[in-house]
Amino acid sequence: MASGPFDLEGKVALVTGGNGGIGKGIALGLARAGASVAVAARNPDKTAGAVAELEAAGASAIGLSCDVTDSAAVDAAIASCVEQFGGLDIVVNNSGVNVRKLPQDLSLEEWQGVIDVNLTGVFIVSRAAYPELVNRGGGKVINIGSMMSIFANETLAPYASSKGGVVQFTKACAAAWAKDNIQVNAILPGWISTEMTEPLRTDMPERYRTITERTPVKRWGTPDELAGTAVFLAAAASNFVTGTAIPVDGGYSIQS
């Protein structure tokens, strides 16, 4: 039977930060579409749990220890993925951290820590994955940005700066790698219920309600609701789509 435009059977995906939140939701979506999935993350216990969930969903899955700010560790993780699965077709750059402070209260270490993971980490992983994607005759890179690529927030200067950089890096790679049949796109999640955003619900209930009311669908998203867009961008269905940044935000970003 011929494969369909959304079929990922035979494809190999690597998802950084794929052991929780948005990353795990995307990893599960790719697995259910037929991909083998390598979860690359720092916490071995969480990674083992995510791999178990993927296997329970019927996927071939492995866990890889990886700090995206460590070039040698990234090289080793990608080499292990290729060795165990035979290649690499899809890269999801999802790893991310955040610090909530006013700009003048940030230390240089806090600023640099967010930039290193959220932006430089995307560069390190993408650069390392590039030759493997070329070896497969093409591939897909999906970078997880944020609606903070669009909006400003007084306490999210390093996060917003890093995610804005991710969108521009996405465009640069899309232009550079089109000749290699590699499509590079970004997803901009809106307000998604994850461990990272849980403090807003518990510690800032008024802010949580304000966000909910501003969102046209009147609720927050869930990690699995990023999966459909990720599968589209990972599959043949998006072969003529590159350099884009797609909001998945319940309509939050269309409000004035």
93 beta partners: 143
d(CA 19, CA 51): 8
Of 130, 159, 208, 252, which one is the catalytic site residue? 159
Which residue type sits at 103?
A: P
d(CA 175, CA 188): 19
d(CA 234, CA 187): 12
Angle of helix 108-115 relative to helix 157-177, nearest 10 degrees, comes to 30
d(CA 101, CA 156): 7
Q: Note if 208 is an active site residue.
A: no
Question: Which of 224, 202, 222, 200 is closest to 211 using CA atoms?
Answer: 200
Question: Which of 196, 233, 213, 245 is closest to 90 using CA atoms?
Answer: 233
Provide the sign of the torsion angle of the four alpha carbons 83, 84, 85, 90, taken in this order. negative
Give the distance, in angstroms, between the CA of residue 187 and the centroid of all CA atoms in the same chain: 7
- By annotation, the residues acting in catalysis are 159
